[in-house]
């Protein structure tokens, strides 16, 4: 970004963040479902699930963090849709600002809001007995994976935000993302699944991501899972960015 574009994006991001600060229920709503899943699976279902570890909350947390990101970015699609319906984008196009600034503002706002939600969920997990063995470098790697995944899914969320016809349609894209961890290694080892389900679970992005996060939180080397997770995140990011920016250019033309 040029200096002018950076200044425009910073101003617009500040606008979006002020909206969230004035309506903190957005973040509260975002973390309610992941925390509910965390409580349900640890305290209600955890005793009946054999994950092969002493601490089920530690096994469960990476998948809950993925659900938190998916839940959070759905609000990005909703906020973008609301701006479009309210005519604010047309107003921005009449001003001497960078055309991509409004999109980047929504993306950066999503990164900040999602980071806050993730910290809240990790804090609840610590209260529930989560005891990570990760060192500083491991936590930096964890933050990097979660940040890259958030960025990738946010650009994916921009697409329905630009194309949806209703607010519910804008947010509905996140439902498959929230359900995907349930068919992965997020809640139980894939070895316990029947053949076709196991094949799908072992070859979809959530399994590689949660396995890499789980190893890093345990202070262990994630091995090949780390590179597979990064490749999935990077691929989703590239596709989401290219499609979203193409749709935005067409809409602004």
Count other C-beta atoms under 10 Å from residue 133's C-beta: 11
Averaged pLDDT in 10-residue chunks for the chain of 253 residues: 62 68 69 89 74 78 94 84 70 60 81 92 93 93 96 92 83 84 91 90 94 94 92 96 89 66
What are the residues whose beta carbons fall under 8 Å from the beta carbon of 118, sequence distance 6 or more? Answer: 65, 68, 69, 146
Q: What is the largest CA-CA distance in the chain?
A: 60
Contact present, 155 and 66 (Cβ < 8 Å): no
Range of the domain at 58: 3-252
The pLDDT of residue 42: 87
Contact present, 184 and 174 (Cβ < 8 Å): no
- Burial (Cβ within 10 Å: 0-12, 13-18, ≥19) of residue 120: middle
The pLDDT of residue 195: 87
The reported pTM is: 0.88
What are the tokens at 152?
Answer: 């990738």
Number of independent structural domains in the chain: 1
The pLDDT of residue 151: 95
Contact present, 20 and 27 (Cβ < 8 Å): yes
- CA atoms of 195 and 180, how far apart (whole Å): 17
DSSP state of 52: S
The answer for 130, left when phi > 0, alpha when psi is -120 to 50, beta otherwise, is: beta
């Amino acid at each position: 970004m040029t200096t002018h574009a950076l200044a425009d994006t910073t101003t617009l991001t500040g606008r979006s963040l002020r909206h969230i600060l004035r309506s903190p229920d957005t973040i509260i709503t975002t973390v309610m479902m992941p925390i509910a899943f965390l409580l349900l699976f640890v305290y209600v279902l955890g005793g009946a699930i054999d994950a092969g570890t002493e601490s089920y909350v530690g096994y469960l947390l990476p998948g809950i963090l993925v659900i938190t990101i998916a839940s959070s970015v759905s609000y990005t699609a909703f906020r973008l849709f609301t701006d479009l319906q309210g005519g604010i984008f047309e107003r921005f196009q009449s001003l001497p600002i960078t055309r991509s600034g409004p999109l980047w503002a929504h993306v950066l706002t999503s990164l900040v809001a999602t980071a806050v939600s993730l910290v809240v969920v990790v804090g609840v997990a610590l209260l529930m007995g989560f005891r990570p063995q990760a060192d500083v470098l491991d936590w930096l790697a964890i933050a990097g994976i979660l940040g890259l995944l958030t960025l990738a899914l946010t650009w994916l969320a921009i697409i329905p935000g630009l194309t949806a016809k209703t607010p519910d349609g804008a947010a509905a894209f996140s439902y498959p993302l929230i359900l995907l961890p349930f068919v992965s290694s997020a809640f139980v080892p894939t070895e316990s699944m029947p053949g076709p389900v196991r094949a799908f679970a072992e070859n979809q992005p959530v399994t590689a991501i949660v396995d890499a996060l789980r190893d890093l939180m345990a202070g262990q080397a994630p091995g090949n899972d780390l590179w597979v997770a990064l490749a999935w995140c990077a691929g989703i990011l590239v596709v989401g960015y290219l499609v979203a920016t193409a749709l935005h250019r067409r809409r602004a033309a």
